[in-house]
Amino acid sequence: MLIRHLKFFVTLAEEQHFGRAAELCSVTQPTLSQAIRKLEEDLNLSLIVRGHRFLSLTAEGEKVLRWGRQILADYESLHDDLRGKKKGGLTGTLRLGVIPAAMPSVSFVTEQFEDRNPLVQIEIRSMSSRAIEKSLETFEIDGGLTYLDNEPLDNVRRFPLYRERYVFACRSDHPLAKAQTVRWAEAVTQPLCLLSDDMQNRRILNGIAAGAGVELRPKVVSNSFLGVASHLRRGLWCAIVPHTFGFVFGRADDLVLLDMVDPVHHQAIGLVLADRLPQSPMVLALQDCVERADIEGHFDRAFGGGTGPLRDAAMQEHGRKGRKLGVVGEGR
């Protein structure tokens, strides 16, 4: 069995189309079909239900797909490890899945990684928390930045990075702009633009609002924070966003970010890695990066969240709820 044939099979299984799979593998369709048949002969199994086109995988094909992904991931890890030693450092591509809420902060992680691994290319993918969990299982990403303690995460190792808090964002000429803080009961009365319900950030906000006895009824929803930011800048809408978005907005004179209170809420965000052995050199390098770096300290200095009565009160409330950033938990 050739690694190349296995790669062709996995690509076909993912694309479910011979033509697209052949194009991605940079071969002709007859070459792809011949390679798949050779793989079936080597294994003495029928892997694909065929008609005039790709129909589905057989039960044996599904098993080969699961093992094939792992074999290919291990092969790539071995290749990167050997090539890296030859070139004097880790090489290859780091693939990171990142939830939209963590996009403003991912550069703090990649900066640390780049400093230690300058020969590695970094690929960032915007993904939902559920997609990150699935992609870790299927070897499509090396790690993910996501919420750690809100919804179940199975078969992962967790490395807390920072605690997200929430701010009310509005134009500087908005009636609430001169306030020190904004209560959730006040925020829900404003014309809001928020993420859609399929995003975990929105589900978290819904839960906080419900706990405060109010309901979020946004005028506009988007599955992208870019859509939220666009509507915010127009001035007709307000938003509730993670405090890390202050890093993206910068010192914009026309925007104001105000801490949300009653209640103050923090949510842990961190790195998740597949709970499997052996770990690839890329994953080990990523783990080493986040274990050595004071990333929350970087965030506090960048976003202005390190001191102050509101911050101190929030930290005390967070501690009473039992979520301590320094504790690394296993997948639930």
How are beta strands 239-242 and 156-171 bridged, if at all? antiparallel
Helix, strand or coil, per DSSP, at residue 229: helix
d(CA 159, CA 271): 5
| Any domain includes 225 | yes
d(CA 101, CA 34): 45
187 and 241 in one domain? yes
Neighbours of 160 (CB within 10 A): 21
Helix, strand or coil, per DSSP, at residue 41: helix
Single out the residue of 158, 164, 161 nearest to residue 132, CA to CA: 158
Provide CB contacts within 8 A for 208, sequence distance 6+: 166, 184, 263, 265
Alpha-carbon distances, residue 74 vs 31, 122, 319, 323, 326 (angstroms)? 25, 19, 40, 35, 31
> Quick one: residue 304, left, alpha or beta (phi over 0 = left, psi -120 to 50 = alpha)?
left
Domain count for the chain: 3
Q: What is the pLDDT of residue 81?
A: 66
Provide CB contacts within 8 A for 221, sequence distance 6+: 193, 194, 195, 196, 197, 202
91 and 80 in one domain? no
Single out the residue of 148, 109, 141 nearest to residue 126, CA to CA: 141
| Any domain includes 331 | no
Going from the first residue of the chain to its last (332 residues), give the mean pLDDT of each consecutive group of 10, the final group possibly shorter.
Answer: 83 87 89 88 86 80 85 76 65 93 90 91 93 91 93 89 94 93 97 93 96 96 91 91 85 87 95 89 90 73 45 36 27 30
152 and 141 in one domain? yes
> Quick one: residue 18, left, alpha or beta (phi over 0 = left, psi -120 to 50 = alpha)?
alpha
CATH, residue 243: 3.40.190.290
| Any domain includes 203 | yes
CATH, residue 15: 1.10.10.10
Q: What is the pLDDT of residue 85?
A: 58
Instruction: Identify the domain boundary among 85, 109, 143.
Output: 85
CATH, residue 114: 3.40.190.10
180 and 155 in one domain? no
| Any domain includes 134 | yes
Instruction: Identify the domain boundary among 248, 266, 284.
Output: 266
Exposure of 230 by Cβ count < 10 A (0-12 exposed, 13-18 middle, 19+ buried)? middle
Q: Cβ(46)–Cβ(40) under 8 Å?
A: yes
The structure tokens listed for 269 are 């965000």
Q: What is the pLDDT of residue 52?
A: 67
| Any domain includes 174 | yes
Look up the domain containing 146 and give its range.
86-161+274-320
Q: What is the pLDDT of residue 323?
A: 27
The structure tokens listed for 138 are 């299927």
32 and 168 in one domain? no
254 and 243 in one domain? yes
Helix, strand or coil, per DSSP, at residue 140: coil
Alpha-carbon distances, residue 269 vs 30, 44, 159 (angstroms)? 47, 46, 9
How does DSSP classify residue 196? -
| Any domain includes 325 | no
Got the DSSP string for 128-145?
Answer: -HHHHHHHHHTTS-SEEE
The structure tokens listed for 240 are 């509730």
Helices (runs of H) and strands (runs of E) counted in the chain: 13, 12
The structure tokens listed for 279 are 């770990």
